Amino acid sequence: MPGGFVRRRLRVWRHLGVEHQRAVECLTCPLYAMGNPLRFLFFSSQQKEAFTDVHVQFFRQIAGRFSHAIEKFRL
């Protein structure tokens, strides 16, 4: 998936300590400041194939705005 966005089944995330017992699918959105990865936003759903390309575009906008705010704060 372009831009670092990832859709995965929950079992992939158990090793990261993410424990959403009822979640079936998750979407991660990386945050960058000055080209460096900082953190990520994590969204989960109880439905299979819950995240569409429309969701990805929306979350990409949110991640971009968070990243921009973080860059401004760090300056």
Per-residue tens of pLDDT for the chain, all 75 residues: 445 555 544 344 444 455 555 667 888 888 888 888 888 888 888 888 888 888 888 888 888 888 888 888 866
Alpha-carbon distance 38 to 21, whole Å? Answer: 26
Q: What is the end-to-end Cα distance of the chain in Å, rounded?
A: 31
pTM exceeds 0.85? no
Look up the CATH number of domain 2-74: 3.30.450.40
Q: Which residue has the tokens 């929306």?
A: 58
Q: Residue type for 36, please? A: N
Report the side by side order of strands in the sheet with 6-9. 6-9, 25-33, 36-45
* Per-domain boundaries in the chain: 2-74
